[in-house]
Each structure stands twice: as structure tokens, then as C-alpha cells.
Amino acid sequence: MIARGTPILQIDSLSKSFRGLVALNAISFEVYDGEILGLIGPNGAGKSVLVNVISGFYGANSGTIRYRGRDVTGFPSHELSRLGIARTYQNIRLFRRMTVLENVLVASKRHAAKPFSSAFTVTRQADIAAAMAQLERMRLADKADRPAGSLAYGEARRLEIARALAGEPSILFLDEPAAGMNERETEELSADIRLCRAAVDVIVIIEHDMELLRDLSDRLLVIASGSKIAEGPPKAVLADPAVIEAYLGADDDDD
């Protein structure tokens, strides 16, 4: 981990359009070592588009993305993943017929490098131990041999986080991790995300649950209509008139 106060991720004037429709309009911000950044905005603001561009699923029309000082603008998602940028998705993406453990194993950085290694090799056993450690972190170790498709909704969300951590990332993007959870599940998720802090340098959370973000975030970044409208400590940002107006005037379009 590099010295606190040094940006891990630097976004400069990032823009993205789809057939003339502006989704991101020259957004700039930095994310620092050791922090949790909350990314909020009304539906249709461009939050998921921003994460998709940063993680290499979409190409930017203009602007730069720097990771640990290196310009990675335009890198495809698999290269960024190898460099240390991981993410989860709004819609859970698991291999439902594979076991919980297998879902984490296939995401392991070491397993990806040697997918056909024997289950009886020392390396393979080390992979299993590392995967089980992530399941322990997410309170899923007792379900390691169960099919992923048999998990309850909240458990499936936690498995997706465990799988993202298996790649040993520096940056973890969580795209609406509390979506569909009840109050108890959300409280448990908050505790789980705090535990993830020890495994990564930076966590960025896209979320509509303001209580969760107040509890977890060191800073909030707010975008509306593809533009940044506020950034700073959660209490100050959530009291900002521009932020309040953006939410009160939000429509119901999907992000």
C-alpha cells in the first residue's frame, strides 16, 4: 500500500456519449489510498456508465484515466483486472451450477494464470486456501460446497464480493451492493464491506442507500445528468442544495 494522500486513481475530464447523448460530461476526481468513496446521483445520472468506462467495459470519448500514475485510458477490462481494478455488478453474475468455492477459485489471479493445474499440486491447494479465506471474510465458508444457485439473495451478493476480492485487486468498485436487501442484510453488508478495507487499497461504492453511505464513506462524489455537482465529506455533501435539488428533481429512468 502506498503512502496515504497519494491518489490511486485519477480521473481527468472523462466524457462519454452514446449516439450523441452525453452520458458523462468532463468528470474529474481522484480516489486516495485507504478511503471509501461513495458515488451517488439520481437515476440516469451516469454512475454505472462512469464505472463501466473506468473498468474498461466502455471506451471514453475523451479524458484520461490514471491508475497509480499510469495512463490506462482505453485499456480493456481484462487488462485492468490484471492490474488490480475489480468490480461487482448491479445484476448478480455468478456461475449458478458451480459451487460457491469454485466461483471464487475461477476468479483467483493464480488460478487464472494456471487454470489446468492439478487439484493435488501445492499451488492448487494454496489457491483453495486463499479462496476459502475470502469466503471466511464474507461469512460463506460453511457454504463452500453448495451450488451458487442455491444461495439466498444476500449471500449471493456477498459471494460476488468474495469473487472480486479473489483477484487481489487494489481498487474494488461495488455497484449497488445493497440493492434488494432488507434492513438486517444491509447492516450486515456494511460490516462486511468494512472488513474488505483490509484487503484492498480503495473501495468505491455506487449506492442509493444513504444510510449505508453515511456509515461507510469517507467522501461522497455526486453526479447528475452526467456532470459532477458535488464532492466532499458525506454530511456536507448531503446538505448541499444542489444535491438536494438533483434528487428532488430526479426522474425514474434507469442508470
How many Å apart are CA 173 and CA 50, to the nearest integer?
11
Instruction: Considering only residues 122 and 199, tell me which one the structure prediction assigns the higher pLDDT.
Output: 199
Instruction: Considering only residues 89 and 37, tell me which one the structure prediction assigns the higher pLDDT.
Output: 37
Q: In what order do the strands lie in the sheet with 62-67?
A: 21-32, 7-18, 62-67, 70-71
- Name the region of 175 (left: φ>0; alpha: ψ -120 to 50; beta: rest): beta
The reported pLDDT for the residue numbered 110 is 60
Q: Can you state the angle between helices 122-137 and 153-165, rounded to 10 degrees?
A: 130
Of 7-11, 119-123, 219-223, the range with the lowest mean pLDDT is 119-123
The reported pLDDT for the residue numbered 249 is 63
CA distances from 146 to 105, 115, 135 (A): 14, 21, 12
Asked if residue 143 has pLDDT above 90, the reply is yes
The reported pLDDT for the residue numbered 2 is 41
Say whether domain 1-84+169-255 belongs to CATH 3.40.710.10: no
Which sequence spans correspond to the domains of the chain? 1-84+169-255, 91-163
Most distant CA pair in the chain: distance in Å? 60
Asked if residue 123 has pLDDT above 70, the reply is no
How many Å apart are CA 1 and CA 86, to the nearest integer?
16
Query: pLDDT per residue over 200-240, tens digit each?
Result: 999 999 998 888 998 899 999 999 999 999 999 999 999 99
Provide the pLDDT confidence category of residue 126 given band limits of 50, 70 and 90: confident
